Structure 1
Amino acid sequence: MFFPIQSEHCFISLFLSSWASVDHPIHAPPTSGDPFKVTFDPPAHCKLRFEGGVMTVTPGPDSERKSFNWPHPNLEDFLKDQNMMFALISDGPLMSFCYRRLSYLSNKYQLHVLLNEMKESAAQKEVPHRDFYNVHKVDTHVHASSGMNQKHLLRFIKKTMKNSKDDVVCRDKSGKEMTLAEVFKSMNLTPYDLSVDMLDVHADRNTFHRFDKFNAKYNPVGESRLREVFMKTDNHIGGRYFAKVIKEVMEDLEESKYQNAEFRLSIYGRAMDEWDKLAKWAVTHRMFSDNVRWMVQMPRLYVSFVSWVLNLDLVYTWTDLTNFQVSGFDSVDDESKPEHLMLDKDSPLPEDWTSPENPPYSYYLYYTFANLVVLNNFRRERGLSTFVLRPHCGEAGNVTHLVSGFMLAESVAHGLQLRKVPVLQYLFYLSQIGIAMSPLSNNSLFLNYHRNPLPDFFNRGLNVSLSTDDPLQFHFTKEPLMEEYSIAAQVWKLSTCDMCEIARNSVLQSGFPNEVKEHWLGPNHLNEGIGGNDVSRTNVPDIRIAYRYHTLVDELRCICRGAKGSGDHGDGVAEKPL
């Protein structure tokens, strides 16, 4: 195996000690009893403030603690490692090496399927009761505001207009209150007029490479007022209609039993009371389901850094929710927008940012992660749940986004651009960083379905899962996640073993607590290799799990021998059989 001399050590150390390992968050057990009962009092003996864009916690005068010595990511070290990563992904010999290893992994998998496909199929048939339909699967990337399909939204709007037309739902430009009937009258609409076609919320050929047109699809009938009334948590009616339609979606998940989802809700950072309002919405409408966990997404839209990234109120006002169902944070926006700035040592601190330009992707991600490290340690000491960072990353735009994702994220959404960067793709494989992919979404926005790299990533052994992204825009059926699996299986000729493996990946990537994952995957699911597989629950044969594990171990051995200068030339053959 050949490594460029100057890149050898850095390549090894970067993937073995990813930045995300500085403080690996742990999910606490589910809260028993009433999940909406607040039992936590804010610690008066602690002072929390931001210094240099990162939360700091210091003991107050009444505290028994003298100090809080928690690990803290250093910006200087991050920038140094980031620059080294930029050098590695553009290093010619290293690119060739990683490309060859990835090609080897693809061919090795094809050989495995040729030799073992019938054995895997036979092993699945020996498992009583279990099949693809009744293995647990999680929609690891879905936005709550479009969590329903278009037919569901249409039916809900018509039903609400029939039963609640006299509800005061908003104000007009003059400040006068308007009922739902008056809103429809102002648009010259009646419930009878509405149809799926008139609703016009489904992505079409005109949204391809047009993220602006895609965002406009969130407005039913092209009216932002209807979006405000039916699809917002913070509106004149306190998000009552939105809560009702999402609860109907959750009931569908509960009825299907084996399908689960992680819905994303937005915090924009425009005001300090956003956390309070979102928590109030969730508590008031009791937004709880055993089949659902929540993610908080922060759109990278520069408005103000007054409540930069993680408002301190999160520590207090969200206690009643985060103990059992908020699993992490997401960073989302149109990645294809050009960035004219880069995070470097001269970048202003968040409190000093005065440029009208949006901060770069790595700026958002670094400060989000740095705050999560401190926040997770602070919450863990108080017996509260902790959070992970799982951002949108690599859907389009600059491949440098994926560098930040590799260094800081537990898993990423989309990851399409990895197909262009063999070094990063190989690192994602070695580190087994999760990638929640949405082929139907990509097909309408950035990449035609037949060009999607998901089957290549899966064959090579990357940790991929299937997700829906926006069922309102992309799906037609009552079960959008099953629709996603069905189309992928038909187009890419996936076997039931393949689909069960992807479903297992989705559970492992998700933010459901370990106690739940033990029930779904088996009590030893955290163990490596076949020791962590319970085929009676996952329906993934031990043959497949053993292949994935042994192949990954072989690759790690190959890397380590190369770093030690053992003389291996990259043929992928282990010195000793496993």
Structure 2
Amino acid sequence: MKLWSWLSIAEIRKRRSDLARCRTTEHNTLHFSLFLSLSLSLHLPLPLPLPLPLPLPLPLPLPLPPSLVDPRGARHLLTSQHSLPGIPVALKQTIDLRTSMDGKYKEIAEELFSRSLAERDMLSAPYEFPEDSPIEQLEERQQRLQRQISQDQSQAFMDLYPKEMEREGEKEYQRVSISGEEKCGVPFTDLLDAAKCVVKALFIREKYIGLSMQSFCRTTYMCNLQLHIYTKCCIKTAQMYLDQTVHPPVSATHPYENQDPACMPPDIGYGCKMVNGVVHIYTKKDSMDTSTELELPYPDLSEYIADMNVMTALIINGPVKSFCYRRLQYLSSKFQMHILLNEMKELAAQKKVPHRDFYNIRKVDTHIHASSCMNQKHLLRFIKRAMKKYPGEIVHVERGKGQTLMEVFQTMNLTAFDLSVDTLDMHADRNTFHRFDKFNAKYNPIGESILREIFIKTDNHLEGKYFGHIIKEVMADLEESKYQNVELRLSIYGRQRDEWDKLAQWAVKHQVYSNNVRWLLQVPRLFDVYHTKKQLSNFQELLENIFMPLFEVTIDPTNHRELHLFLQHVVGFDSVDDESKPEHHCFNMESPLPANWTEEDNPPYAYYLYYMYANMTVLNHLRRQRGFNTLVLRPHCGEAGPIHHLVSGFMLSENISHGLLLRKAPVLQYLYYLAQIGIAMSPLSNNSLFLSYHRNPLPEYLSRGLMVSLSTDDPLQFHFTKEPLMEEYSIAAQVWKLSSCDMCELARNSVLMSGFSHKVKSYWLGPHYIKEGQEGNDIRRTNVPDIRVAYRYETMCEELNLITQAIRTDELEAITEEEGNLCMGPV
């Protein structure tokens, strides 16, 4: 005899309501750690070593489990984004992230690239979206209305929200809350599809950022294991009190003085060679072919291309674009409401802070090139002073004959009295708009490349003597201002193997160092130029010239002592060039490997970035094992050109510079917001090159909550005063009517984005700046009110809750349907 079990509809609804209430309560008690719940509900292993949002000292990387090692090559593999460990309390099955685009990513990506090639003559990328887009069909609106009427109006979150705000430590201010079953304004089916795509994209970034030891947004990446390890590290590195001085201690000795080999780390005897564009490390230098290869992970090329196709398909998906566009519009409107309700409270909070205002909070110029870090007047005065002080010094060799500085100017029929700012002609004007070639020519004083070589180059007949003096004068001005800091870009071209050693010798010989300055090394994308001049035979040779010296100095610092000292103050890599140049090649599995790239065409942007990232990843693992500082990738990205540059930046970079094209890509802009990817923006630079000032999206990005900062880019071409960063802030404040709170928030963002050490940031921002929300803010140091920080944190948590709630609701409905089917069957 068969037994039959029947469950009433009321019991099913009650069970579903209990599960939803349990889930909502759990989210609130975790202080809005919304993405934690989703991460624990999937089966994706946390990337090892664990990515931290700061360059903190960590133990050696943990060994990866056997399942993550490729048995064919003993190489670590990246795991799929569809698997995270753990199952949520209310779920008994794996969350399904499949979407309607699965299986079509490659075709969509290739079609999009073909379209960009067909329209490459346009001045900017053709990805504008209309103001009234998207418009749902009438049937969808009726379905949404019917859904709102038929479903239970669950207000658990809104009921608990006021109670949550009453907890100790929460900041009281006027909040804007949205109630209702469907808060995002799109049909639930579109919301579900968009939420899965957004989560999938965040998993892709998490995977690559974790592998390369760069920082991932802590709010988005919250989990119990990471929180435990992270807190443990912070206790060791942030031993300071709230009333401690805001000025970090200054070392009594110069960092470049101690070059004694006995004081440097010893040689570990490893060997290295480049295979298919990526450096491999072996245990023995003399017999690499027979020795064991170290298992230092780097991304698999096929998986990277597959993920690129996924991301490219996501950004042109209709429902995803509709969802992201609406969310961005909502964020803008919500911020305007916040300003209307709380602006006076924010101003009052700033007035209560003694001895702190915008002028004496820390600011970092996160994007500035060393060769143009001075203004025109500064360079002019230095040239005149050099002509009077060193007129007989040989500065240039022409056809085997030396030329003195006076002779160089005599060939131009110029004297020191004749020189003026107008004579130098180095300032950008209306003629440089959309003319990157004319802008590059502005780097030559008086239009003469020989003067550029003499005064603003590190590798010349004088070994960069004049350039070193100019940089030191700029550093002295920064130290005098005390609160302004810069991250200067120096160039490594990749034409010769000894470029790194020459650059380090320049820095050490001329004592070019300041506590207010950190270095980034920029790599111009000029392989086609070098190949045409027969300076390079293939692309792998360029990669070897850039990365092999870094591996050699990491293995044996005693053979490159100056470079070892110099690298301690280098924070990352940059990739620079004119992004508006057309790309004739699509990066896919049919693309030639670097050793086989002998074409006259330049490799595409994604090709450059992948091989820079892959080598940097291996280098970071090796340097972490030796206890050295690691590096990050912070390229120029999204200033012009095709939109897929921003896709590469999203996947591989910790921060980017410019990001103007995000205004035309709502999906990517929303992803950059959720991942809190730093964007160093230079409105005055953009105004002269690609985008007029009033169209610059910086105020829009700031209102929506993107991690943006102000930077100068090239003061020599775009600025007039002795303090170009303050010039940027003053013009932005006047044109866009920024409040004092807005400007202090931009300054705080610049410090968070910068490559300065965790110890230094603890003095500048407060000892607990790594904590979430207002707990990490010290208004006595940042002058940013707790109200603004709390608003940013709560708003982001609500956005994360929206996408996770949609996926959980879908899974809950699937479970309910299964229960309904089971209750009608035999037991």
TM-score by length of 2: 0.66
Asked if 1:92 corresponds to 2:318, the answer is yes
Asked if 1:3 corresponds to 2:190, the answer is yes
CA RMSD, aligned part only?
Answer: 2.1
Q: How much has 1:17 moved relative to structure 2?
A: 4.3
Asked if 1:231 corresponds to 2:475, the answer is no
Asked if 1:327 corresponds to 2:571, the answer is yes
Q: How much has 1:60 moved relative to structure 2?
A: 1.4
Cα deviation, 1:218-267, whole Å, max 9, x if unaligned, reads 00000111001001000000000000011100100000000000000000
Which residue does 1:179 correspond to in 2?
404
User: Does structure 2 conserve the Cα–Cα contact (< 8 Å) formed by 1:2 and 1:97?
Assistant: no
Paired residue secondary structure (1:511): coil
Which residue does 2:23 correspond to in 1?
none
1:240-279 → structure 2 map (5 Å cutoff): 240-279=465-504
Relative to 1, partners in 2 of residues 1:311 and 1:70: Cα closer, same or farther, differing over 3 Å? closer
Asked if 1:207 corresponds to 2:432, the answer is yes
Residue number among 351, 354, 358 corresponding to 1:132 in the alignment = 358
User: Does structure 2 conserve the Cα–Cα contact (< 8 Å) formed by 1:95 and 1:423?
Assistant: yes
Q: Which amino acid aligns with 2:611?
A: Y
Paired residue secondary structure (1:308): helix
Q: Structure 2: which 5+ residue stretches go unaligned? A: 1-187, 216-232, 238-248, 531-535, 554-559, 813-827
Cα deviation, 1:114-142, whole Å, max 9, x if unaligned, reads 00000000000111100000000000000
User: Does structure 1 conserve the Cα–Cα contact (< 8 Å) formed by 2:367 and 2:680?
Assistant: yes
Which residue does 2:801 correspond to in 1?
557
Q: How much has 1:561 moved relative to structure 2?
A: 1.4
Asked if 1:70 corresponds to 2:296, the answer is yes
Q: How much has 1:433 moved relative to structure 2?
A: 0.3
Which residue does 1:448 correspond to in 2?
692
Length, aligned pairs only:
565
Distance 2:397 2:797 in 1: 62
Which residue does 1:574 correspond to in 2?
none
Which residue does 1:35 correspond to in 2?
255
Q: How much has 1:319 moved relative to structure 2?
A: 1.3
Q: How much has 1:347 moved relative to structure 2?
A: 1.1
Which residue does 2:270 correspond to in 1?
46
Distance 1:154 1:544 in 2: 43
User: Does structure 1 conserve the Cα–Cα contact (< 8 Å) formed by 2:391 and 2:406?
Assistant: yes
Q: How much has 1:147 moved relative to structure 2?
A: 0.3
Asked if 1:288 corresponds to 2:510, the answer is no
1:161-176 → structure 2 map (5 Å cutoff): 161-172=387-398, 174-176=399-401
Which residue does 1:152 correspond to in 2?
378
Asked if 1:503 corresponds to 2:727, the answer is no
Which residue does 2:212 correspond to in 1?
23
Cα deviation, 1:283-341, whole Å, max 9, x if unaligned, reads 10111100000000000010333140742212413211122x10000000000011011
1:403-552 → structure 2 map (5 Å cutoff): 403-552=647-796
User: Does structure 2 conserve the Cα–Cα contact (< 8 Å) formed by 1:443 and 1:449?
Assistant: yes
Q: How much has 1:62 moved relative to structure 2?
A: 9.7
Relative to 1, partners in 2 of residues 1:10 and 1:99: Cα closer, same or farther, differing over 3 Å? closer
Which residue does 2:413 correspond to in 1?
188
Residue number among 549, 556, 559 corresponding to 1:313 in the alignment = 549
User: Does structure 2 conserve the Cα–Cα contact (< 8 Å) formed by 1:261 and 1:293?
Assistant: yes
- Identity across aligned pairs (percent)? 61
User: Does structure 1 conserve the Cα–Cα contact (< 8 Å) formed by 2:209 and 2:653?
Assistant: yes
Which residue does 2:329 correspond to in 1?
103
Cα deviation, 1:455-476, whole Å, max 9, x if unaligned, reads 0000000000000000000000
Distance 1:239 1:397 in 2: 34
User: Does structure 2 conserve the Cα–Cα contact (< 8 Å) formed by 1:211 and 1:334?
Assistant: yes
Q: Which amino acid aligns with 2:274?
A: F
User: Does structure 1 conserve the Cα–Cα contact (< 8 Å) formed by 2:194 and 2:319?
Assistant: no
User: Does structure 1 conserve the Cα–Cα contact (< 8 Å) formed by 2:427 and 2:718?
Assistant: yes
Distance 1:423 1:3 in 2: 14
Q: How much has 1:34 moved relative to structure 2?
A: 4.0
Q: How much has 1:342 moved relative to structure 2?
A: 1.7
Which residue does 2:599 correspond to in 1?
355
Which residue does 2:346 correspond to in 1?
120
Which residue does 2:179 correspond to in 1?
none
Q: How much has 1:363 moved relative to structure 2?
A: 0.4
Greater CA deviation, 262-271 or 557-566?
557-566
Distance 2:647 2:453 in 1: 36
Q: Which amino acid aligns with 1:563?
A: I
Distance 1:228 1:20 in 2: 38
Relative to 1, partners in 2 of residues 1:7 and 1:128: Cα closer, same or farther, differing over 3 Å? closer
Q: Which amino acid aligns with 2:426?
A: V
Paired residue secondary structure (1:312): helix
Which residue does 1:12 correspond to in 2?
199
Q: How much has 1:66 moved relative to structure 2?
A: 6.3
Cα deviation, 1:365-411, whole Å, max 9, x if unaligned, reads 01111111100110111111110000000000111100000000000
Q: Which amino acid aligns with 1:112?
A: H
Greater CA deviation, 261-270 or 36-45?
36-45
Greater CA deviation, 186-195 or 37-46?
37-46
User: Does structure 2 conserve the Cα–Cα contact (< 8 Å) formed by 1:2 and 1:562?
Assistant: no
Paired residue secondary structure (2:190): coil
Distance 1:529 1:71 in 2: 34
Q: How much has 1:11 moved relative to structure 2?
A: 2.8
Which residue does 1:572 correspond to in 2?
none
Q: Which amino acid aligns with 1:470?
A: D
Q: Which amino acid aligns with 1:407?
A: M
Distance 1:405 1:61 in 2: 35
Distance 1:62 1:268 in 2: 29
Relative to 1, partners in 2 of residues 1:80 and 1:433: Cα closer, same or farther, differing over 3 Å? same
User: Does structure 1 conserve the Cα–Cα contact (< 8 Å) formed by 2:269 and 2:285?
Assistant: yes
Paired residue secondary structure (1:295): strand
Q: How much has 1:350 moved relative to structure 2?
A: 1.2
User: Does structure 2 conserve the Cα–Cα contact (< 8 Å) formed by 1:55 and 1:374?
Assistant: yes
Paired residue secondary structure (1:68): coil
Asked if 1:382 corresponds to 2:626, the answer is yes
User: Does structure 2 conserve the Cα–Cα contact (< 8 Å) formed by 1:295 and 1:326?
Assistant: yes
User: Does structure 1 conserve the Cα–Cα contact (< 8 Å) formed by 2:195 and 2:804?
Assistant: no
Q: Which amino acid aligns with 1:374?
A: V
Paired residue secondary structure (2:543): coil
Q: How much has 1:170 moved relative to structure 2?
A: 0.3
Relative to 1, partners in 2 of residues 1:419 and 1:61: Cα closer, same or farther, differing over 3 Å? closer
Distance 1:167 1:314 in 2: 34
Relative to 1, partners in 2 of residues 1:454 and 1:61: Cα closer, same or farther, differing over 3 Å? closer
User: Does structure 2 conserve the Cα–Cα contact (< 8 Å) formed by 1:167 and 1:180?
Assistant: yes
User: Does structure 2 conserve the Cα–Cα contact (< 8 Å) formed by 1:25 and 1:376?
Assistant: no
Q: Which amino acid aligns with 2:400?
A: G
Q: How much has 1:5 moved relative to structure 2?
A: 6.8
Distance 2:637 2:679 in 1: 9
User: Does structure 2 conserve the Cα–Cα contact (< 8 Å) formed by 1:272 and 1:311?
Assistant: no
Q: How much has 1:8 moved relative to structure 2?
A: 5.1
Which residue does 1:573 correspond to in 2?
none
Greater CA deviation, 37-46 or 182-191?
37-46
Q: How much has 1:68 moved relative to structure 2?
A: 2.7
Which residue does 1:576 correspond to in 2?
none
Q: Which amino acid aligns with 2:511?
A: R
Q: Which amino acid aligns with 1:58?
A: Y
Paired residue secondary structure (1:426): helix
Query: Quick check: which has more Rg, 1 or 2?
Result: 2
